Amino acid sequence: MSTQPFTVDEYVRWSDVDNAGIIFYGAYVRFFEIAETELFRSAGVPYGEVFDRFNIWLPRANLTCDFRYPARLDDCLRVAAYFTRFGTSSIGLNFDVVHRSAERLAAVAHEVLVCVDRETMRSRPLPNELRDLLRPFLLAEDQARSQLGVTSG
């Protein structure tokens, strides 16, 4: 089975822009959440099922983002989500936001999710079954960007 980034297209909405008409940096989190949620659904495990089926939570331990190209109201953005690493109890998740008309990276982000027990909130190993379900979306950054038709630069 070949690996690939999961993508979803979303438009910049009125609530996403600042007074200059450029997307507000915090609005990108909404785009990341949409892509992440739909990525899990595409892998066959909607988030609600992940939590109940494996008795875990996946809180975010880290989120970093670089902004590369300004997106404006009504611009169409393709948000790609893919896993970069499965640790013992953590998952590395990347988001590449492609400005569709400019064919450029608008933003790139990396998130770390930590697998914790739902009752104790203590770190626990990532369930092997979950890892196997998510594996089709495990890629190196350059491989994902090549498939998206953009470069890291």
Question: In this structure, which amino acid lies at residue 29?
Answer: V
Query: What would the mean pLDDT of 17-39 be, rounded to a whole number?
Result: 95
Q: Where are the domains of the chain?
A: 6-135
The one-character DSSP state at 15 is G
Q: What is the pLDDT of residue 153?
A: 55
Dump pLDDT digits (tens) for 114-137: 999 999 999 999 999 999 999 999
pLDDT class of 34 with cuts at 50, 70, 90: very high
28: which 2 tokens? 């990108």
In DSSP terms, which residues pair with 108 in a beta bridge?
66, 96
pLDDT above 80: residue 151: no
**Model-level pTM?**
0.94
| Residue 38 CB partners (closer than 8 Å, separation 6+) | 6, 8, 81
Q: What is the pLDDT of residue 1?
A: 53
Q: Which residue, chain included where needed, has tokens 């027990």?
A: 117
Q: Which CATH class is domain 6-135?
A: alpha beta
Please state the separation of Cα 87 from the chain's center in Å: 17
Dump pLDDT digits (tens) for 54-107: 999 999 999 999 999 999 999 999 999 999 999 999 999 999 999 999 999 999
User: Residue 32: in which H helix or E strand, if any?
Assistant: helix 28-42
pLDDT class of 4 with cuts at 50, 70, 90: confident
Query: What would the mean pLDDT of 28-45 be, rounded to a whole number?
Result: 96
| Residue 121 CB partners (closer than 8 Å, separation 6+) | 57
